[in-house]
Amino acid sequence: MRIVLVGPPGAGKGTQAAFLAKNLSIPHISTGDLFRANISQGTELGKKAKSYMDAGQLVPDEVTIGMAKDRMEQPDAVNGFLLDGFPRNVSQAEALDVALKTDDVKLDAVLDLEVPEDEVVKRIAGRRICRNDSAHVFHVEYKQPKADGVCDTCGGELYQRDDDKEETVRKRLEVYHTQTEPIIGYYREQGLVKTISALGKVEEVTARAMEALGR
Protein backbone atom coordinates (compact mmCIF):
# COMPACT_ATOMS: atom_id res chain seq x y z
CA MET A 1 0.00 0.00 0.00
CA ARG A 2 1.13 3.53 -0.75
CA ILE A 3 -0.04 5.81 2.00
CA VAL A 4 0.34 9.46 2.95
CA LEU A 5 -0.16 10.28 6.62
CA VAL A 6 -1.38 13.77 7.48
CA GLY A 7 -2.38 15.43 10.74
CA PRO A 8 -1.59 18.47 12.85
CA PRO A 9 1.41 18.66 15.15
CA GLY A 10 0.60 16.74 18.32
CA ALA A 11 -1.59 14.15 16.56
CA GLY A 12 0.97 11.42 17.26
CA LYS A 13 1.82 11.03 13.59
CA GLY A 14 5.36 9.70 14.09
CA THR A 15 4.20 7.06 16.56
CA GLN A 16 1.30 5.93 14.36
CA ALA A 17 3.52 5.90 11.28
CA ALA A 18 5.97 3.54 12.98
CA PHE A 19 3.22 1.11 14.07
CA LEU A 20 1.36 1.20 10.76
CA ALA A 21 4.53 0.68 8.73
CA LYS A 22 5.35 -2.35 10.87
CA ASN A 23 1.80 -3.78 10.60
CA LEU A 24 1.72 -3.28 6.85
CA SER A 25 5.36 -4.35 6.26
CA ILE A 26 6.20 -1.18 4.33
CA PRO A 27 8.93 1.38 5.02
CA HIS A 28 8.12 4.48 7.05
CA ILE A 29 9.51 7.44 5.09
CA SER A 30 9.73 10.61 7.16
CA THR A 31 11.16 13.85 5.85
CA GLY A 32 13.29 14.21 8.98
CA ASP A 33 14.97 10.86 8.29
CA LEU A 34 15.33 11.67 4.57
CA PHE A 35 17.17 14.90 5.35
CA ARG A 36 19.42 13.25 7.93
CA ALA A 37 20.25 10.32 5.63
CA ASN A 38 20.99 12.46 2.56
CA ILE A 39 23.10 14.90 4.53
CA SER A 40 25.11 12.23 6.35
CA GLN A 41 25.69 10.30 3.09
CA GLY A 42 26.71 13.54 1.35
CA THR A 43 24.37 13.07 -1.64
CA GLU A 44 23.96 15.96 -4.10
CA LEU A 45 20.46 16.63 -2.72
CA GLY A 46 21.79 16.38 0.83
CA LYS A 47 24.48 18.98 0.08
CA LYS A 48 21.88 21.27 -1.45
CA ALA A 49 19.52 20.86 1.50
CA LYS A 50 22.34 21.53 3.95
CA SER A 51 23.35 24.76 2.20
CA TYR A 52 19.82 26.12 2.65
CA MET A 53 19.56 24.90 6.22
CA ASP A 54 22.97 26.40 7.14
CA ALA A 55 21.76 29.71 5.74
CA GLY A 56 18.64 29.45 7.89
CA GLN A 57 16.43 29.15 4.80
CA LEU A 58 13.63 26.75 3.93
CA VAL A 59 14.71 23.84 1.76
CA PRO A 60 13.01 24.26 -1.66
CA ASP A 61 10.26 21.79 -2.55
CA GLU A 62 12.18 20.29 -5.48
CA VAL A 63 15.01 19.20 -3.16
CA THR A 64 12.59 17.52 -0.74
CA ILE A 65 10.69 15.91 -3.61
CA GLY A 66 13.93 14.62 -5.13
CA MET A 67 14.90 12.95 -1.85
CA ALA A 68 11.44 11.43 -1.43
CA LYS A 69 11.48 10.12 -5.02
CA ASP A 70 14.92 8.50 -4.56
CA ARG A 71 13.70 6.84 -1.37
CA MET A 72 10.41 5.61 -2.91
CA GLU A 73 12.42 3.93 -5.68
CA GLN A 74 14.48 1.81 -3.26
CA PRO A 75 13.83 -1.96 -3.46
CA ASP A 76 12.12 -2.13 -0.04
CA ALA A 77 9.48 0.37 -1.20
CA VAL A 78 8.42 -1.61 -4.29
CA ASN A 79 5.24 -2.84 -2.61
CA GLY A 80 4.45 0.38 -0.84
CA PHE A 81 5.50 2.98 1.68
CA LEU A 82 4.09 5.31 4.26
CA LEU A 83 4.96 8.98 3.84
CA ASP A 84 5.14 11.05 7.02
CA GLY A 85 5.74 14.79 6.85
CA PHE A 86 5.57 14.90 3.07
CA PRO A 87 3.81 16.32 1.08
CA ARG A 88 3.30 19.34 3.32
CA ASN A 89 1.65 21.66 0.81
CA VAL A 90 -0.39 21.38 -2.39
CA SER A 91 2.51 22.05 -4.74
CA GLN A 92 4.45 19.16 -3.14
CA ALA A 93 1.34 16.96 -3.47
CA GLU A 94 1.14 17.81 -7.18
CA ALA A 95 4.84 17.07 -7.61
CA LEU A 96 4.40 13.77 -5.78
CA ASP A 97 1.62 12.80 -8.22
CA VAL A 98 3.94 13.53 -11.14
CA ALA A 99 6.77 11.52 -9.55
CA LEU A 100 4.47 8.54 -8.89
CA LYS A 101 3.12 8.70 -12.42
CA THR A 102 6.60 8.42 -13.92
CA ASP A 103 7.03 5.24 -11.85
CA ASP A 104 3.57 4.11 -13.01
CA VAL A 105 2.17 3.78 -9.48
CA LYS A 106 -0.60 5.47 -7.48
CA LEU A 107 -1.39 6.34 -3.88
CA ASP A 108 -3.88 4.00 -2.20
CA ALA A 109 -4.91 6.18 0.71
CA VAL A 110 -4.36 9.42 2.56
CA LEU A 111 -4.85 8.86 6.25
CA ASP A 112 -5.95 12.03 8.01
CA LEU A 113 -5.47 12.03 11.79
CA GLU A 114 -7.98 14.35 13.38
CA VAL A 115 -7.47 15.98 16.79
CA PRO A 116 -9.41 18.95 18.20
CA GLU A 117 -7.20 22.02 18.35
CA ASP A 118 -7.51 22.48 22.13
CA GLU A 119 -6.44 18.88 22.62
CA VAL A 120 -3.32 19.49 20.49
CA VAL A 121 -2.43 22.49 22.63
CA LYS A 122 -3.04 20.51 25.82
CA ARG A 123 -0.94 17.57 24.61
CA ILE A 124 2.06 19.63 23.55
CA ALA A 125 2.00 22.50 26.04
CA GLY A 126 1.67 20.03 28.93
CA ARG A 127 4.87 18.17 28.03
CA ARG A 128 7.77 18.35 30.46
CA ILE A 129 11.21 17.08 29.47
CA CYS A 130 14.08 16.03 31.71
CA ARG A 131 17.21 18.20 31.49
CA ASN A 132 19.42 15.08 31.77
CA ASP A 133 17.77 13.02 29.03
CA SER A 134 15.21 14.22 26.47
CA ALA A 135 13.82 10.65 26.32
CA HIS A 136 12.46 11.15 29.86
CA VAL A 137 9.16 12.77 28.95
CA PHE A 138 6.31 13.61 31.32
CA HIS A 139 3.02 15.45 31.07
CA VAL A 140 1.36 17.73 33.62
CA GLU A 141 -1.93 15.92 33.10
CA TYR A 142 -1.41 12.61 31.29
CA LYS A 143 1.87 11.41 32.79
CA GLN A 144 2.52 13.25 36.02
CA PRO A 145 5.87 12.74 37.72
CA LYS A 146 5.69 11.54 41.35
CA ALA A 147 7.21 14.83 42.54
CA ASP A 148 6.40 18.13 40.83
CA GLY A 149 9.11 19.16 38.36
CA VAL A 150 11.35 16.16 39.09
CA CYS A 151 12.12 13.27 36.73
CA ASP A 152 10.98 9.87 38.11
CA THR A 153 13.73 8.06 36.22
CA CYS A 154 16.84 10.03 37.15
CA GLY A 155 15.83 12.85 39.49
CA GLY A 156 16.66 15.49 36.86
CA GLU A 157 14.85 18.81 36.57
CA LEU A 158 11.81 18.85 34.27
CA TYR A 159 11.27 21.82 31.96
CA GLN A 160 9.08 22.96 29.07
CA ARG A 161 10.82 23.30 25.69
CA ASP A 162 10.35 26.61 23.89
CA ASP A 163 8.87 24.66 20.96
CA ASP A 164 6.20 23.30 23.28
CA LYS A 165 4.99 26.66 24.62
CA GLU A 166 1.33 27.39 23.88
CA GLU A 167 2.08 30.43 21.71
CA THR A 168 4.50 28.42 19.55
CA VAL A 169 2.05 25.52 19.28
CA ARG A 170 -0.71 27.90 18.10
CA LYS A 171 1.67 29.28 15.45
CA ARG A 172 2.55 25.77 14.24
CA LEU A 173 -1.17 24.95 14.03
CA GLU A 174 -1.73 28.10 11.99
CA VAL A 175 0.98 27.00 9.54
CA TYR A 176 -0.64 23.55 9.37
CA HIS A 177 -4.07 25.06 8.61
CA THR A 178 -2.85 27.40 5.90
CA GLN A 179 -0.19 25.22 4.21
CA THR A 180 -0.83 21.53 4.86
CA GLU A 181 -4.57 21.19 5.41
CA PRO A 182 -5.39 22.19 1.80
CA ILE A 183 -3.78 18.92 0.63
CA ILE A 184 -6.67 17.07 2.30
CA GLY A 185 -9.06 18.82 -0.10
CA TYR A 186 -6.70 18.07 -2.98
CA TYR A 187 -6.68 14.35 -2.16
CA ARG A 188 -10.40 14.28 -1.34
CA GLU A 189 -11.06 15.10 -4.99
CA GLN A 190 -9.13 11.94 -5.82
CA GLY A 191 -11.28 9.95 -3.36
CA LEU A 192 -8.27 8.97 -1.27
CA VAL A 193 -8.93 10.55 2.13
CA LYS A 194 -9.73 8.42 5.20
CA THR A 195 -10.27 10.57 8.27
CA ILE A 196 -9.95 8.96 11.70
CA SER A 197 -9.93 10.34 15.22
CA ALA A 198 -6.48 10.40 16.81
CA LEU A 199 -7.94 10.53 20.32
CA GLY A 200 -7.45 7.66 22.73
CA LYS A 201 -4.67 5.15 23.32
CA VAL A 202 -1.95 4.63 20.71
CA GLU A 203 -3.11 1.05 20.00
CA GLU A 204 -6.74 2.18 19.64
CA VAL A 205 -5.74 4.75 17.02
CA THR A 206 -3.63 2.15 15.17
CA ALA A 207 -6.59 -0.27 15.14
CA ARG A 208 -8.87 2.49 13.80
CA ALA A 209 -6.32 3.31 11.09
CA MET A 210 -5.97 -0.33 10.01
CA GLU A 211 -9.74 -0.62 9.78
CA ALA A 212 -9.99 2.58 7.70
CA LEU A 213 -7.31 1.14 5.37
CA GLY A 214 -9.36 -2.05 5.05
CA ARG A 215 -6.70 -4.21 6.75
- Rounded to a whole number of angstroms, the minimum distance from the CB of residue 12 to Zn ion is 22
* Residue 2 is a catalytic residue: no
From the candidates 131, 161, 165, 188, give the one annotated as an active-site residue.
161
Stretch that binds Zn ion, among 45-53, 93-101, 130-138, 197-205 (CB under 5 A): 130-138
The site map against Zn ion for 78-117 (x = CB under 5 A) is ----------------------------------------
Q: Does 153 bind Zn ion (CB under 5 A)?
A: yes
Tell me the angle at which helices 61-72 and 31-40 cross, rounded to the nearest 10 degrees: 90
Residue type at 90? Answer: V
Enter the DSSP assignment of 144: -
- Rounded to a whole number of angstroms, the minimum distance from the CB of residue 137 to Zn ion is 9
* Residue 161 is a catalytic residue: yes
* Residue 88 is a catalytic residue: yes
121-126: long-range contacts, CB 8 A cutoff, minimum separation 24 = 121/10, 121/166, 121/169, 121/170, 121/173, 123/10, 124/9, 124/10, 124/164, 124/169, 125/160, 125/164, 125/165, 125/166, 125/169
Size of site (CB under 5 A) for Zn ion:
8
Contact residues for Zn ion, defined by CB under 5 A: 130, 132-133, 136, 151, 153-154, 156
Q: Which residues are catalytic?
A: 13, 88, 127, 161, 172
